[in-house]
Amino acid sequence: MKFLPLTTLLLLLAFSCGQGTQMDTQTLAQEKDSLKSLVNEYNARIAEINKLIAEEDEGFEKNLTLVETLVAMPQRFDHYFKIYGEVETNKNVLLYPESQGILNAISVTEGQQV
């Protein structure tokens, strides 16, 4: 009776270490080829639809921009905001920013009512 849990555990371990179901390479190659043919069919259909749209709307393909570049120039970024509200607490208050930035000044002194 003492060996029943141990035997059960060993049997479960032995069966769980068996080989899993593996797909052979031929099946995977066939699936890959069928997916490639589907992709080619969809791309051909998309090209047909684009051609039909271009025939109806002359400015359709002219509005397509593949890549657009912009030269970034260094410049100063100032962002100011005002907060209106009332805070009453008997303990410390912790405020966390929602975005990163540098806090240059705090216009409130310790003990001042805000």
Summarised one tens digit per residue, pLDDT across range 57-88 is: 877 766 666 777 889 899 888 877 777 777 77
Which conformational region is residue 99 in: left (phi greater than 0), alpha (psi within -120 to 50 degrees), or beta?
beta
Domain count, the chain: 1
Whether residue 28 lies inside any domain: the answer is yes
Question: What sections of 1-114 are H helices per DSSP?
Answer: 3-16, 25-56
Amino acid at 7: T
Whether residue 105 lies inside any domain: the answer is no
Whether residue 90 lies inside any domain: the answer is no
Rounded Cα–Cα distance for residues 43 and 76 (Å): 46
Whether residue 50 lies inside any domain: the answer is yes
Task: Tell me the pLDDT tens digit for each residue of 17-53.
Answer: 655 556 688 888 899 999 999 999 999 999 999 888 8
Token couple for 18: 């068996």
Token couple for 57: 């709307």
Token couple for 106: 């705090």
Whether residue 48 lies inside any domain: the answer is yes
Whether residue 99 lies inside any domain: the answer is no
Whether residue 41 lies inside any domain: the answer is yes
Whether residue 108 lies inside any domain: the answer is no
Q: Which range marks the domain in which residue 38 is found? A: 23-55
